Amino acid sequence: MKEAKLYQKLKEKRLKCLACSNECIISNGKKGICGVRKNINGKLQLLVHGMPCAVHVDPIEKKPLYHFLPGSLAFSIGTIGCNFKCPWCQNWDISQNRDENFFSKELLTPKKAVSLAILYGCKSIAYTYNEPAIFSEYIKDIAKLAKKEGLKNILVTNGYFTKESFDFLNKEHLIDAANIDLKAFKDETYRKYCGSVKGIKPVLENIKRFHKAKIHIEVTTLIIPNLNDSKKELKQIAEFIASIDKNIPWHISRYFPQYKMDEKKHPVTKIETLKLAEKIGKATGLRYVYIGNV
Ligand code: SF4
Ligand code: SF4
C-alpha cells in the first residue's frame, strides 16, 4: 500500500480520484469502483502498490502486440480490481475480485519487478490482465526504473485514463506501447455492460491521445454476437481507427461465452463473422487486420 498521487482533496475528508475517467468521489473509509483505491482518513491509498496478484512471462504477441518488439518476452503484471465490470471478462476472477487477502503475500517492489524482468530475458514490462489505470502510481514507480535498464513499458488497457493519469505516466515518456480495447462503438454498451460512468467518450479520446503522443498503439475488439457484431458497428469501429492512422493494427478477437454471458443470447463468434470484420477493416483502408483467439 502507498499513498496515491492522482487525486484531489474535497470537503469533509472526501476525495476525487483522477486515475481513471470514472472520477469517483470517495468518502472517508470507502473505496472507489475499482476496489483498490481507498480513502483512509482523507488520504487516497493505492492498496495494490507492490501487491500484484498475477505475474507471468508472456510472449508479447499475447498482449496482443504484433508490431512492437516481435518475438520478445514481456514481463507481465496485474492486480486485483478493475474500473469496469464487463460480463464477458476473461480475467473476471481477478478483475472483479475485491478480496484484500488475494493480494500477493510477497511484496513485488518496483526494483524487484525490474530485476525479475531482466532475469527472465524480457525486453519489456506489460501492465495487463486487469485495468492498469487503477494502479498508475505503481506503474510509474516500476516504469521509471525499467526505462533506466533499457526495458520498454507496455499498457494493455480499456482506454479509460484521464488526461491527468495519462500525463502522469507520459510526462517522462515512460510508456512505449499500448494495446487499447475498443469494445464497441455504442455509448450504451460501455455504460450498460461495462459500468463505465462516462461511456465511450474517454476511450475514443485516449486512442487519439496515445497516438498523438507517438506511443505505439494497437487496437483490439472482442467480437460478441448480438452485441457489437453488426456490419454498421464494425464499420464504425474500423472507420474510427482508420481516421486516426491506417497503420494502426486492429485485432479482431473471437469471443467464447463465459462469466456472466448468456450462451444462448451471445453464442461463440462464428468464423464467418470474424472474416466479415476483417473484410470491413481492410475495405476501410486499415493495413493490418488480425483475427485472433481462434
Ligand atoms: S481508478 Fe477509477 S474506478 Fe478506481 S477509484 Fe479511481 S476513478 Fe474510481
Ligand atoms: S476492462 Fe478488461 S479487465 Fe476490466 S472487466 Fe472489462 S474485460 Fe475485464
Per-residue HEC secondary structure of the chain comes to CEECCCEEECHHHCEEECCECCCCEECCCCECCCCCEEEECCEEEECCCCCCCEEEEEEHHHCCCCCCCCCCEEEEEECCCCCCCCCCCCCHHHHCCCCHHHCCCCCCCHHHHHHHHHHCCCCEEEECCCCHHHHHHHHHHHHHHHHHCCCEEEEEECCCECHHHHHHHHCCCCCCEEEEECCCCCHHHHHHCCCCCCCCHHHHHHHHHHHHCCCEEEEEEEECCCCCCCHHHHHHHHHHHHHHCCCCCEEEEECCCCCCCCCCCCCCCCHHHHHHHHHHHHHCCCCCEEEECC
Ligand 2 atom nearest the C-alpha of 95 is: 3
Whether 73 shows a pLDDT value over 90: the answer reads: yes
Nearest atom in ligand 1 to 20's CA: 2
Confidence check: pLDDT of 81 > 90? yes
Can you tell me which atom of ligand 1 is nearest the CA of 131?
A: 1
Is the pLDDT reported for residue 223 higher than 70? Answer: yes
User: In sequence order, which residues have a C-beta less than 8 Å from that of residue 219 and are 6 or more positions away?
Assistant: 179, 180, 181, 182, 207, 241, 248, 249, 250, 251
pTM of the model: 0.97
Closest by Cα among 157, 178, 280 to 223: 280
Domain 50-292 matching CATH 3.20.20.70: the answer reads yes
Residue 81 alpha carbon to ligand 1 centre in Å: 10
Instruction: Name which of 226, 161, 237 is nearest 193 in CA terms.
Output: 226
Ligand 2 contacts CB of residue 84 (under 6 A): yes
* Average of per-residue pLDDT values in the chain: 97
For residue 129, the CA-to-ligand 2 centroid distance in Å is 8
pLDDT of residue 105: 66
Domain-by-domain residue ranges, the chain? 50-292
Question: Measured in angstroms, how far is the CA atom of residue 229 from the centroid of ligand 1?
Answer: 29
Structure-block grid coordinates of residue 188: 450504451
- State residue 243's pLDDT score: 98
Q: Does pLDDT of 103 surpass 90?
A: no
pLDDT of amino acid 261: 96
What would the pLDDT profile of 106-127 be if each residue is shown by its tens digit?
799 999 999 999 999 999 999 9
Distance, CA of 209 to CA of 232 (rounded, Å): 25
- C-beta of 91 in contact with ligand 2 (< 6 A): yes
